Amino acid sequence: MLICLSANHKNSSFDVLEKLSVGADAAAGGMLTGHDALSGAVVVATCNRFEAYLDLDEPFGVSPLPAVYAAIDAVSASTGVSADLLRDTLDLVHGNGVAEHLFAVTSGLESVVVGEGEIAGQVRRSLEEARAAGTTSPELERLFQRASQTSRGVKNRTGIGAAGRSLVRLALELAESRVTDWAHTRVLLVGTGRYAGASLAALRDLGVTDVRVYSPSGRAAKFAAAHDIGAVATDAEALAAETALADLILTCTTVEHHVIDAGILTAGRALVAAQHAAEVPALVAGSDAGRSCPVGAEPDAARQLVIDLGLPRNVDPDVSDVPGVELLDLETIRIHAPLEQLNATSEARKLVGRAAKKFSAVAEEQSLAPAVVALRSHIFDILDGEIERARKRGDTSEQTESALRHLAGVLLHTPMVRSRELARAGDQEAFLGGLDALFGIEVALPDSAVPPVELPGSTDVADAAS
């Protein structure tokens, strides 16, 4: 049985999501060791979402709650978020509802910016990380692979991909009212990962040409050379001076500490002010061309915009106390996210729903596989016995054997069709009862979906079984 525990921008505060993201890497392994019946775990952690997808190996009728509680305890241990808070925060989806939920998430239908494209790659990388850690399972593999296929179908067949905007571009759109001329805006980009590349592309689309990059991990020079921009030295003084010269600071790293704070901004302004006063060359390569404050003016009189796309936060909220500085972080961006594109979203959800039903139908059909195998084995054993008796009577004709095998196939056709129909209808017991009554074949099926359950303490529990 599949289970999903979800904390997202709809049911959790930014502070909780930030804490969950810090310990996300260790959560999957802890969940598997915390409960013997959990055979697989994949964790999806983004700036607006923490989700654990679990494969529970339990027989029909057994409650999943012990496994859920064990998983919550493991998440609590790896992230520092209390188990009580997690029980109050997490949504629980299980059974057939898990596929539809993940397919909607991967297609961007549950994102802050509906239709944004980054989430599909993040989901795919989550599966790759689970493979590397050895925490996935065959059913989770099938689930995540089908999710990626569904997201591509939604993107190709609806307008939601074109209508959706990434967090990077939405943040820059919100910055439009604060920027006079993008072509004369000096930008300090903090980070060198995928988001940094997307941010740089979005900035260039707006006409920005003056960009410096700083990397807490020391990868700025390589990133700068690949993208033809300037690199900032890794020492604290160089970073501080560069923050004072930038009109816009955009951060998007995965480090677990603040890269920019009020102290760095204040120290940088003091350095640049001293340079101006002494009329000496700037400490940092490059001119002040395009700076919003004229040469000779006090640097702290300038307006500066700081955009923090990092999770955990890359920027200490105390930067807002520095004169002229405005902070735009993920929480602010979420408040200003646009309304859904109704037509595109409606069509996309129809596609997601159909894909989820197909996924569940295949899973239901597979649930009767042991019974189907038992029936086929029973029929073919009878067939082989009849062929052998015919040979002993001297009938070695290939036509006789072929006719008997054809007859067996004809007899099996209707039971095979009915097995699929009954499985999709959730009536596996009817097929099992027929096998027992007609042929004396008794088959005990493995795992099956259990009735809907609620997570005690949860304020918004998804009723997953359909």
Q: Write out pLDDT tens, residues 16-28.
A: 888 898 888 889 9
pLDDT for res 279: 60
CATH topology of domain 167-335: Rossmann fold (3.40.50)
Q: Give the mean model confidence (pLDDT) for residues 233-250.
A: 91
For residue 44, pLDDT over 70 is answered with yes
* pLDDT tens digits along 321-380: 999 999 998 888 777 765 554 455 778 888 898 888 888 776 655 666 778 788 888 888
* pLDDT tens digits along 411-427: 888 887 787 677 666 67
Helix, strand, or coil (residue 331): helix
2-164 — its CATH code?
Answer: 3.30.460.30
Q: Give the mean model confidence (pLDDT) for residues 301-323.
A: 88
Mean of all residue pLDDT scores within the chain: 82
Residue 327 and residue 315 in contact, taking contact as beta carbons nearer than 8 Å: yes
Query: Higher model confidence: residue 80 or residue 291?
Result: 80
For residue 240, pLDDT over 60 is answered with yes
For residue 135, pLDDT over 80 is answered with yes
Q: Give the mean model confidence (pLDDT) for residues 250-261.
A: 90
**Low-confidence winner among 53-67, 241-255, 339-353 (lowest mean pLDDT):** 339-353
Sign of the CA dihedral 201, 207, 208, 210? positive
Residue 160 and residue 346 in contact, taking contact as beta carbons nearer than 8 Å: no
Distance CA 56, CA 58 (A): 6
Distance CA 179, CA 23 (A): 36
For residue 198, pLDDT over 50 is answered with yes
Print burial letters for 357-375: b (CB count within 10 Å at least 16), e (below 16).
eebbebbbbebbeebbebb
CATH 3.40.50.720 positions along the chain are 167-335
The number of beta carbons lying within 10 Å of the beta carbon of residue 161 is: 20
Distance CA 206, CA 181 (A): 9
Distance CA 329, CA 312 (A): 11
Distance CA 334, CA 171 (A): 10
pLDDT for res 38: 93
Percentage of the chain exceeding pLDDT 70: 83
Catalytic residue at 4?
Answer: no
* pLDDT tens digits along 139-184: 899 999 999 999 988 888 876 655 445 678 888 888 888 888 999 9
* pLDDT tens digits along 387-396: 888 888 888 8
Distance CA 239, CA 190 (A): 10
pLDDT for res 362: 66
Tell me whether strands 304-308 and 248-251 are parallel, antiparallel or unpaired. Answer: parallel
- Residue 448: pLDDT band (50, 70, 90) is very low
Distance CA 28, CA 193 (A): 24
Distance CA 351, CA 151 (A): 9
Helix, strand, or coil (residue 185): coil
CATH 3.30.460.30 positions along the chain are 2-164
* 4, 47, 252, 293: the active-site residue: 47
Q: Tokens 């998983």 map to which residue? A: 71
Q: Exposed, middle or buried, 206 (CB in 10 Å: 0-12/13-18/19+)?
A: middle
pLDDT for res 323: 93
Q: How many residues does the chain have?
A: 466
Q: Tokens 């990092």 map to which residue? A: 310
**Low-confidence winner among 76-85, 101-110, 168-177, 328-337 (lowest mean pLDDT):** 328-337
Q: Give the mean model confidence (pLDDT) for residues 292-299.
A: 41
For residue 466, pLDDT over 80 is answered with no
